[in-house]
Amino acid sequence: MSRFDPAHPVFDLSESSTVLTQQICDVESVSGDETLLADAIVASLAGADHLEIIRDGDTIVARTNLGRAQRVVIAGHIDTVPLNDNLPTRYETLDGEEYLWGRGTVDMKAGVAVQLKLAAELTEPVVDITWMWYDHEEVSNELNGLTRLAANRPDLFAGDFAILGEPTNSQIEGGCNGNLRAEIRAYGLRAHSARSWVGDNAIHKAAAILAILDSYEAPEVEVDGLVYREGLNAVGISGGVAGNIIPDEVMVHVNYRFAPSRSGDEAVAHIRELFAGYDVKIVDLAVGARPGLDAPLAQRFLAAVGGEAKPKYGWTDVARFSAMGVPAVNYGPGDPMKAHADDERVRVSQIEDCEAGLRSWLSGRG
């Protein structure tokens, strides 16, 4: 067996999904840098004659055309958030459980590994399958590979049900919270810092903005039986001109996670009301998705994989599919609490469980 080289990756899809997860994670693909991984995915599917392969930038679609009565879209993003000294991957044992540690293991390359393996191996699924692996999910909605694909090839989104392989501890998580980002600005007056009394320090005004955030009590909101937890946080702050100048501007970057029962307009209005008197600029807005677990295929999938559905607190592309009228759920290996964390790590048994759950359902055994 030849040694895997992350600088020149080729995946042997007959390897276990755990080995594939490790290899896929070791090919760094922070948003905007997915081409090497996308090339490797296309190359690894070269022998899969049962799949029609379509590429749009660094998004790859592979679909069966078996004439089945129903089509399921199964998708996963191939980008990750930035590294923080957490690659290459390594195996760890914690409390007797084996884990694969490293950036992307949870969000969401274990899910992609399972999907790739099944795409290659399931030549006769009971439903037609459209597999999608896409770029730029972890950044603004405008850059998301599925936004581009929906503009270029909306026909590829046709389906009766969609499964997003985002981390869910290999249990179903329904819907997703909405996601808004805003820049909140306060202004002052520039002056020489040796004569500060003639200026008006904008950075000091950030304290009042931060106080609003600090005292904010984010509610829990029940939507169709699932309880979504909201959040409002500063995720960045900037200001300052030079070491001897009283600054005339400060900006606090705020991220609002809102329940899927709220519309985008309601979320925007809430932020504008909270920060009335400040300059508020909405820089990104993606509405959430209600659970949608009453759809017949969602019910069948839920019954097949078992467990109790939980809410998805992050934003995922289930929102995109739901908005297109395709019921969608999240289902993938990895604890979402470890997504984006420095000690991101996936339990190996969850990768195996997810593969078994999907394989059995897609083969008509679940």
Ligand X SMILES: N[C@@H](CCC[C@H](NC(=O)CCC(=O)O)C(=O)O)C(=O)O
Site residues for ligand X per CB under 6 A: 107, 137-138, 140-141, 144, 166-167, 179, 284, 286, 312-316, 336, 339
What one-character-per-residue DSSP string does 171-223 give? S-EESB-EEEEEEEEEE-B-EEGGGGGGSB-TGGGHHHHHHHHHH----EEEE
User: By C-beta, is 146 or 186 nearer to ligand X?
Assistant: 146
Which position among 79, 173, 317, 355 bears the catalytic label?
A: 79
List the beta bridge partners of residue 279: 185
User: By C-beta, is 16 or 255 nearer to ligand X?
Assistant: 255
- Quick one: tokens of 48? 């899969």
- Tell me phi and psi for residue 143, to 5 degrees: -90, -15
- Can you tell me the distance from the alpha carbon of 124 to that of 131, in angstroms, rounded to the nearest whole number? 14
Question: If we measure between CA atoms, which residue out of 326, 359, 355 comes closest to residue 163?
Answer: 326
Comparing every residue's Cβ against ligand X, the nearest one is 314
Question: Measured from the CB of residue 146, what is the shortest distance to ligand X in angstroms?
Answer: 10
How many residues are recorded in the chain? 366
Question: Measured from the CB of residue 233, what is the shortest distance to ligand X in angstroms?
Answer: 12
- Tell me phi and psi for residue 299, to 5 degrees: -60, -45
User: By C-beta, is 28 or 249 nearer to ligand X?
Assistant: 28
Question: Measured from the CB of residue 71, what is the shortest distance to ligand X in angstroms?
Answer: 24
- Quick one: tokens of 12? 């042997």
Question: Measured from the CB of residue 333, what is the shortest distance to ligand X in angstroms?
Answer: 12
- Catalytic, 124? Answer no
- Catalytic, 214? Answer no
Question: If we measure between CA atoms, which residue out of 73, 78, 95, 63 comes closest to residue 136?
Answer: 78
Backbone region of residue 95 per phi and psi (left: phi > 0; alpha: psi in -120 to 50; beta: other values):
left
Question: Measured from the CB of residue 178, what is the shortest distance to ligand X in angstroms?
Answer: 10
User: By C-beta, is 17 or 179 nearer to ligand X?
Assistant: 179
Question: Measured from the CB of residue 107, what is the shortest distance to ligand X in angstroms?
Answer: 5
Q: Is 43 exposed, middle or buried (0-12, 13-18, 19+ CB in 10 A)?
A: exposed
User: By C-beta, is 140 or 193 nearer to ligand X?
Assistant: 140
User: By C-beta, is 34 or 128 nearer to ligand X?
Assistant: 34
H or E segment and range at residue 256: strand 249-258
53, 61, 109, 132 from 42: Cα distances, Å:
8, 9, 16, 12
Which position among 107, 128, 137, 317 bears the catalytic label?
A: 137
- Residues labelled catalytic: 79, 137
